């Protein structure tokens, strides 16, 4: 049994007994503190019809909506130990399905709930949140092992004097879910970073000792990859980059060739001839195609960052639909 000690009064805070109605009102009045992830619709939500197969009540303790899953959520509050969880979940599902249109219209028009369009809300299943003082071990295991365990959340509560309420998520704790989502995001980011490191490791090995060539290539590849997904392959004699149905064959120099360039980029884009003397056409009038590092027609000899940026601009303009 949990016990709460006050460091101010130097005594244990007593557990007290309150009604389901008091619990309902307290949660409803402080909704955003307890359940900020859900949209509150109405407590004591009532329409004609039976919620439970063995009863006559047409009342839902609290009706809410999950904007993340686009499902209605039924909150069932119990003063004592909850019983027959499986039957109650089934009853609520049947009730929502049988009265879906009426529940949606009342939520939207009468209670001004912020809901998506009718056809965007899931009618196949609902979520149920049970709030009770305790649960049987059998029911807890049954919910945790169920195929629909994400649809049923069990919360245990304890009232203490001085208007203190403790709630304990037995499953589907939103903080745990956020941690899992963040961990998954970090894992994906790490994979991307590791993949980039691997690619750039191959590029750096190919351009070993040519620091300016490495720097210019990184600008070239990341500029293209920022606007459209690019492919990168380091081959034995060249670096092959794919971008928007175009290919580029690339070699690096150290500024000591006849053209004194740092990067030689081959391309089939005709507009690169506008770059002037840094472009060489491999097809000469009346002669065979000049040999090169790739199959592309034009050789572009890059010496400065400005030349590279002008080339990138031409490539991006050419790739637009």
DSSP state of 150: G
Residues 146 and 274 in one domain: no
Q: Which structural domain, as residue segments, surrounds residue 229?
A: 207-319
Structural domain contains residue 196:
no
- For the chain (321 residues), the mean pLDDT of every run of 10, in chain order, is 80 88 93 94 81 60 93 87 67 82 92 92 87 86 81 90 88 78 67 63 88 92 82 90 91 71 93 93 76 84 94 88 61
CATH number, residue 75: 3.40.1350.10
pLDDT, position 54: 45
pLDDT, position 28: 94
Residues 20 and 76 in one domain: yes
Residues 211 and 168 in one domain: no
With contact defined as beta carbons under 8 Å apart, do 209 and 254 qualify? Answer: yes
pLDDT, position 257: 56
* Cα distance between residue 48 and residue 240, in whole Å: 68
**Count of structural domains, the chain:** 2
Per-residue burial over 69-103, b if 16 or more Cβ lie within 10 Å, else e, is: eebbbbbbbbbeebeebeebbebbbebbeebeeeb
pLDDT, position 57: 57
Structural domain contains residue 43:
yes
Structural domain contains residue 135:
yes
Q: Is 163 helix (H, G, I), strand (E, B) or coil?
A: coil
Neighbouring residues of 295: CB distance < 8 A, sequence distance ≥ 6: 247, 249, 266
Residues composing the chain? 321
Residues 214 and 305 in one domain: yes
């Amino acid at each position: 049994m949990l016990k709460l000690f006050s460091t101010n009064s130097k005594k244990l805070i007593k557990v007290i007994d309150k009604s389901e109605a008091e619990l309902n009102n307290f949660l409803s009045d402080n909704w955003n503190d307890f359940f900020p992830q859900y949209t509150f619709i109405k407590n004591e939500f009532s329409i004609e019809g039976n919620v439970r197969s063995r009863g006559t009540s047409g009342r839902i303790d609290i009706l809410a909506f999950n904007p993340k899953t686009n499902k209605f959520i039924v909150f069932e509050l119990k003063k004592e130990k909850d019983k027959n969880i499986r039957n109650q979940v089934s009853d609520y599902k049947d009730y929502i399905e049988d009265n879906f249109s009426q529940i949606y219209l009342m939520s939207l028009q009468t209670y001004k709930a912020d809901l998506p369009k009718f056809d965007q809300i899931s009618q196949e299943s609902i979520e149920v949140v049970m709030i009770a003082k305790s649960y049987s071990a059998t029911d807890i295991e049954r919910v945790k092992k169920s195929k629909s365990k994400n649809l049923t959340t069990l919360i245990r509560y304890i009232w203490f004097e001085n208007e203190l309420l403790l709630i304990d998520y037995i499953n589907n704790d939103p903080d745990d879910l956020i941690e899992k989502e963040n961990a998954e995001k970090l894992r994906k980011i790490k994979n991307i970073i590791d993949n980039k490191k691997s690619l750039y490791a191959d590029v750096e090995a190919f351009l070993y000792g040519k620091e300016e060539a490495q720097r210019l290539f990184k600008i070239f590849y990341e500029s293209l990859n920022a606007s459209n997904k690019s492919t990168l392959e380091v081959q034995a004699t060249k670096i092959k980059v794919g971008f928007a149905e175009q290919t580029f064959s690339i070699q690096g120099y150290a500024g000591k060739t006849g053209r004194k360039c740092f990067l030689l980029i081959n391309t089939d884009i005709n507009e690169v001839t506008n770059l002037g003397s840094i472009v060489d056409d491999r097809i000469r009038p009346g002669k065979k195609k000049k040999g090169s590092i790739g199959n592309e027609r034009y050789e572009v000899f890059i010496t400065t960052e400005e030349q590279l940026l002008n080339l990138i601009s031409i490539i991006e303009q050419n790739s637009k639909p």
